[in-house]
Every structure is written in C-alpha cells, then in structure tokens.
C-alpha cells in the first residue's frame, strides 16, 4: 500500500475522531441519583398515624374515599363557597408575591440561555482608526518615520471558541435547568401558601361574623331580661340590685360586640393585600360561618413526596448542587481555545479593501493549570459539602411535610370531636338558663343565678364558634400540608424550562 494512501486513510480515521471529541467531549463529575427515602427515616409509612381511619372513635370529621384519592386544581372548591372561589381566582392573578416569584422563574429560565450560549463560538468585529505623529527629536531612536505623521485603519473579524471537552458548559446548563425547576417549585409553593392564607383569613372573618351574630342576639336577649328586671322592680316584686346586675350583664356583652370589629377589620385588610387590592377600597360582606370542615381526600402517604412543591424543589436543589461538582472537577483538565481573525488594515482608505490590505491569523491555545495551591481541590470539596447539606435539607423537608400532615389530621379530628361535645354543652346551658329564668320569675331564685346561667351559656356559645373557626382553619392547613391540588407532574421538565421564551415582559416597572 502506498504511503499517500496510508496517510489518507489515517486522516479519514483521525480527523472525525478529533471533531467528535471537540463537539461532544466527555462529562466529568459524579452522576446524579436522587436519594431514596426508603433507605432513611424519611421512608413513607403505610398509613397516616393520625388519620381518623386509625381510631375506633367514629364520631366527628371523616376523610374522603377512596384512600388513594387526591385533590386536584382548585382545591378550595371543596368548601363550596362562591365568594371564597372568587377571591382565590383573583389572588392567582393579582397577588404581588406570586408575581415576584413568577418573575424569579422567568429570570432563572434566561440563565439557561446564557449558559447554553457558551457552547457556540463568539464572533466579533471592531472598526478603528488612529493617526499619530512621532517626535522629531528621536534622532537616535531605531524607529522610522521620526517626526512624521502616520495613520492606520483596521477592520478585523475575530472568532473564538472553547470546545466543551469535559462537560463544564453542559454541567452549567444542567445546573441552570435544575435551578429553573427549583424556581418553578418555589413559585408553586408560594402560590399554595398565599392561597391557604387567604382561605384561613376568610374563615376567620366568617368566624368573627358568627361571633358578632351571637353577641347581637345575646344583647337582644339581655335587653329583654333587663326590661323584665325593671318591671319587677317597679312593681315591688324585686329589688334594685337585680336591675343593676341586668344592666351590667348587658353592657359587658355590648362591649364584647364592639371589640369584635378590630379582628374582623384586620383580617379583611389582610385579604385585600393578598388579592392585590387597596385595603381602603376593599370589603367583604358579613356572613356568619355555618359550614363544617369538609371531607378531604388524603391519598397514600407514599404519594406525599410527589404532591408537595417544597419537596420537589429540595430535590431539584440537590440535582443542581451535583452538577456544580462536575463543573468544579472540569477545572482539573486542560482547556482548548480555538481562535481566528481576518480583516483589512491600511494607512490609506482608498486601498482599505484591496487584497494586499488583508490580514489573518488562526491557531489553537491549550492551557492547563500546573499548580494552584489547592484551589481546585478546595472548590470540589466545597460543592461536595454543599450537596451533602442539600441532601440533609431534602430529608428534613420530607420529615417536616409528614409532621405537618399528622398535625393537620390530629387537629381536625380532635377539634371535630370537641365541637360535638361543645354543642352538647351549649344545649345544656340553654336548658339551665331556661330553668333559671322560670325560677327567677316565680321568685324562687335571685337574679344573680340568672346572670350566672347567662354568662355560662354565652361562654359556651363563644367557645363553640371559636372551635368551628379552628376546625376550618385546621382543615385549610391540612390541605396545604398535603400539597393542595399540585403534584410533581406539573413541574416543568428540563426541556420545557429550556424552551425559548416567545414573549418576555421587558418593561421596567415604575
């Protein structure tokens, strides 16, 4: 075989291999594998410990069936309140915190495009002109044109490219993709938090309205009792102290009724801010709380890891930290820079684009750090410890999620049972007051016993109203702990967050 044929075959074999290496390179650093919850204390249980299905007591709050059900989409609709639905819809559009997290997500997506740009060559040009006159007193200088004016114009085009041989750029892209997914999870977590806060404040207002109605009804009843005491006093049947006690009881209830306005106003102002409205121009109509906590589908505990956006975000944070380790490892390997320039240069513009005015240069530069005082090793160790810290944070997030679900389950279950007992206490107090009024009217007992019965009934009624509010807000907290209507399938994939943004609002807000 001739030598020329051998060289030709060698070129056809070697050149494609070099080209493939330059275009694809290799990836250094550890491969990412999400930690398995089953191998640690974060392993999901078979069933929730505090679920009503685990207790023999069947009275009170029930869970929805089937057990593997999940909330989807607008979770607040399980409360069947049109006004709450309208407020939640407005919150999803006008809440400023949600808008802030959305813009953070958009920013994270732009960082992917910035990282991807490093895969491609950089092309640039610059047009320059310079005129200069050298000193005439440089007679002994070796330079020519002493005391003469010279000029030079230049129009170069430069191309430079650093192939991603060791995956530094690709790892950077992956890290930014995972960070964008993390930002998307943070957005959903913030959205869920704002939605839950709105629902909780809404039921707090409804509870204040229920208390207001209770006190208003009590005021009317106490006025009738005062009229009775006065009539008995004026006819000589009773003494003045009964009138004074009736007046005092009425005035105390009236004072409590006035004080309720403080809390209601504050909850109303908080809701206004949540829905992006000016509190001075926002109000919620009065409507007492009449509903009980609805049945909530819990699903299986193993599904919780897929339903919480904060857990999804913690896992994506680990993935991003793992990619950072690969970026740090790439510093151990040499970098190759390919650059070329081409252009025109002349002292006379009339000959600027003539062929003799052309110039060019091309050549690779291979660089490697020989000694850096341990900087690269320290950098790798830094990102390894960051990754390990993110693993611990992920597992803590999982544990906290199960704690919050168990807290919510126990709260709703126990409160619902307490509500039943408190309803019985109210019924008994009403019976006691009815009997005491009869005994007072017949002169058997003094009015003081009526006051005691009235106070007991009012306290029991207020406790019942507060328990209803606690039960409703606890159910909202349970829904939030379960992840609302979100699941991991709604988290955008790396490909989806990397898509080119068709339209970005670049208006500077004022």
- The CATH number linked to 147 is 2.20.200.10
Please enumerate in sequence order all residues whose Cβ is within 8 A of that of 160, keeping only pairs 6 or more positions apart, or say none.
121, 122, 337, 338, 339, 340
DSSP, collapsed to helix, strand or coil, labels residue 503 as coil
Are 240 and 290 part of one and the same domain?
yes
Q: For residue 342, which phi and psi values (nearest 5 degrees)?
A: -150, 140
DSSP H helices, 340-374, are: none
Same domain, 145 and 243: no
Is the pLDDT reported for residue 414 higher than 50? yes
Residues 480, 350 within the same domain: no
Examine the pLDDT at 363 and tell me if it is beyond 60. yes
Q: Which of 367, 387, 409 is the last residue of a domain?
A: 367
Domain final residue pick, 367, 386, 411: 367
Distance CA 480, CA 394 (A): 18
| Strand pairing category for 149-161 and 335-346 | antiparallel
Helix (H, G, I), strand (E, B) or coil at 124: strand
* Degrees to nearest 5, angle at CA 357 with 351 and 360: 155
Question: Do 354 and 477 lie in a common domain?
Answer: no
What pLDDT is attached to residue 138?
A: 67
Q: From 121, 122, 145, select the one nearest 134 (Cα to Cα).
A: 145
Nearest Cα to 405, choosing from 38, 40, 45, 36? 45
Quote the DSSP letter at residue 125.
E
Exposed, middle or buried, 140 (CB in 10 Å: 0-12/13-18/19+)?
exposed
Do residue 153 and residue 264 come from a single domain?
no
Q: Would you say residue 5 lies in a domain?
A: no
Say yes or no: 269 and 402 in one domain: yes
Alpha-carbon 155 to chain mean position: 51
**How much is the pLDDT for 59?**
75
- pLDDT category at 60 given cuts 50, 70, 90 is confident
Here the tokens at position 183 are: 């930002």
The CATH number of whichever domain residue 281 belongs to comes to: 1.20.1600.10
Residue 169 CA to residue 157 CA, distance in Å, equals 25
What is the structure's pLDDT at 5?
Answer: 47
Question: Does residue 299 belong to any structural domain of this protein?
Answer: yes
User: Which domain does 135 fall in, by range?
Assistant: 123-163+337-367
The region of weakest confidence among 95-104, 203-212, 255-264 is 255-264
Are 169 and 158 found together in one domain? no
155 in a domain, yes or no?
yes
Q: Are residues 130 and 114 in the same domain?
A: no
d(CA 341, CA 360): 5
For residue 19, being part of any structural domain is answered with no
pLDDT confidence of residue 15: 47
Is the pLDDT at 144 greater than 60? The verdict is: no
Same domain as 466, residue 356: no
Reduced to 3 states (helix: H, G, I; strand: E, B; else coil), residue 339 is: strand
What SS3 state is found at 365?
Answer: strand
Assigned domain for 505 exists? no
Rounded mean pLDDT, 485-503 = 86
The per-residue pLDDT of the chain, averaged, comes to: 86
Do 153 and 269 lie in a common domain?
A: no
pLDDT score at 179 = 95
Closest CA to 476 of 85, 193, 70: 193
DSSP 444: S
Q: How confident is the model at residue 285 (pLDDT cuts 50, 70, 90)?
A: very high
Distances in whole angstroms, Cα of residue 378 to Cα of each of 171, 199, 319, 388: 19, 49, 20, 15
Measured distance CA(20)–CA(13) in Å, rounded? 11
Q: How confident is the model at residue 127 (pLDDT cuts 50, 70, 90)?
A: confident
Same domain, 207 and 355: no
pLDDT value, residue 271:
96
Q: How many domains does the chain have?
A: 2
In the predicted structure, residue 495 carries a pLDDT above the cut 80? yes
State yes or no: pLDDT of 139 exceeds 80.
Answer: no
Cis check: omega of the bond before 66, within 30 degrees of 0: yes
**45 in Cβ contact with 301 (< 8 Å):** yes
18 within domain boundaries: no
Q: Are residues 354 and 435 part of one domain?
A: no
pTM: 0.85
In this structure, is residue 239 part of a structural domain? yes
Q: Is 89 domain-assigned?
A: yes
Secondary structure of residue 412 in the 3-state scheme: helix
pLDDT above 50 for 17:
no
């Amino acid at each position: 075989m001739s030598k020329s044929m051998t060289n030709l075959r060698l070129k056809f074999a070697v050149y494609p291999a070099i080209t493939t290496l330059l275009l694809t390179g290799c990836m250094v650093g550890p491969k990412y594998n999400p930690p398995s919850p089953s191998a640690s204390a974060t392993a999901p249980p078979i069933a929730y410990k505090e679920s009503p299905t685990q207790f023999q007591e069947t009275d009170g709050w029930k869970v929805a069936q089937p057990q593997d059900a999940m909330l989807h989409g607008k979770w607040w609709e399980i409360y069947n309140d049109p006004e709450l639905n309208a407020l939640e819809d407005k919150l999803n559009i006008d809440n400023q915190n949600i808008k802030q997290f959305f813009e953070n997500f958009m920013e994270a997506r732009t960082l992917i495009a910035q990282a991807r740009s490093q895969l491609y060559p950089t092309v640039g040009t610059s047009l320059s002109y310079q005129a200069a006159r050298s000193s005439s007193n440089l007679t002994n200088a070796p330079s020519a044109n002493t005391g003469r004016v010279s000029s030079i114009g230049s129009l170069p085009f430069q191309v430079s490219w650093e192939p991603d041989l060791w995956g530094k750029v690709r790892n950077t892209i992956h890290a930014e993709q995972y960070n964008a997914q993390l930002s998307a999870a943070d957005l959903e977590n913030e959205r869920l938090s704002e939605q839950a806060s709105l629902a909780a404040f809404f039921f707090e207002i409804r509870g204040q309205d229920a208390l207001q109605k209770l006190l208003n009804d009590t005021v009317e009843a106490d006025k009738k009792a005062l009229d009775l005491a006065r009539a008995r006093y004026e006819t000589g049947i009773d003494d003045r102290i009964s009138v004074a006690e009736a007046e005092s009881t009425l005035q105390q209830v009236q004072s409590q009724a006035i004080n309720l306005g403080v809390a209601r106003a504050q909850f109303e102002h908080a809701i206004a801010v949540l829905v992006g409205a000016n509190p001075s121009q926002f109000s919620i109509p009065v409507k007492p709380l009449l509903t009980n906590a609805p049945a909530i589908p819990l699903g299986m505990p193993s599904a919780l890891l897929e339903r919480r956006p904060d857990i999804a975000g913690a896992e994506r944070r680990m993935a991003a930290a793992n990619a950072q380790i690969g970026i740090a490892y790439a510093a151990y390997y040499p970098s190759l820079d390919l650059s070329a320039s081409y252009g025109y240069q002349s002292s006379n513009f009339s000959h600027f684009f003539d062929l003799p005015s052309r110039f060019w240069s091309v050549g690779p530069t291979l660089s490697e750090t020989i000694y850096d005082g341990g900087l690269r090793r320290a950098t790798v160790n830094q990102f390894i410890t960051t990754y390990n810290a993110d693993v611990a944070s992920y597992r803590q997030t999982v544990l906290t999620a199960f704690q919050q679900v168990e807290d919510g389950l126990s709260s709703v279950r126990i409160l619902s049972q307490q509500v039943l007992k408190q309803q019985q206490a109210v019924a008994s107090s009403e019976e006691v007051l009815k009997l005491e009024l009869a005994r007072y009217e017949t002169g058997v007992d003094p009015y003081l016993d009526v006051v005691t019965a009235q106070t007991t009934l009012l306290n029991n009624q207020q406790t019942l109203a507060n328990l209803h509010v606690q039960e409703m807000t606890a159910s909202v907290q349970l829904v939030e702990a379960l992840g609302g209507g979100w699941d991991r399938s709604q988290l955008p994939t790396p490909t989806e967050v990397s898509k080119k943004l068709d339209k970005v609002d670049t208006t500077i807000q004022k």
